[in-house]
Amino acid sequence: MEQKNETLTLGSLFDGSGGFPLGGVLAGITPIFNSEIEPFPVRVTEVRFPNMKHYGDVSKLKGAELPSVDIITFGSPCQDMSIAGCRDGLSGSRSSLFYTIGNFS
């Protein structure tokens, strides 16, 4: 039986400083795109992954318009869940962005 040697691809939403893409690279996975709005983390991933496309605000994305990838990762905003935050949970203004993942089908 012939095995294909295809590299898996990854898209990262709520990317932060690129932890999921970095883990992917270490596992032989190619990061294709990310979504992040905070300037410092965006700059970190621009330096670490110069070939990765940056799409910005996840709430403005449509999955059908993004490049096709094998794996989608996300670390949704946790400020509303944190003891340091206002503890609004998933109904908080930032953590409720978790529900936008449903738009990526």
Instruction: Give the integer Cα–Cα distance in Å for 98 and 92.
Output: 10
Q: Which of 78, 94, 96, 104 is catalytic?
A: 78
pLDDT value, residue 80: 57
Which residues contact residue 7 at a Cβ distance below 8 angstroms, ignoring those fewer than 6 apart?
Answer: 28, 29, 30
DSSP code of residue 47: H
Query: Is 78 considered catalytic here?
Result: yes
Domains by residue range for the chain, with CATH: 9-76 (3.40.50.150)
| Contact assessment for residue 94 and residue 79, using Cβ atoms and an 8 Å cutoff | yes
pLDDT value, residue 64: 85
- What are the mean pLDDT values of the chain's consecutive 10-residue runs (105 residues total)? 76 90 96 92 94 90 89 74 58 56 55
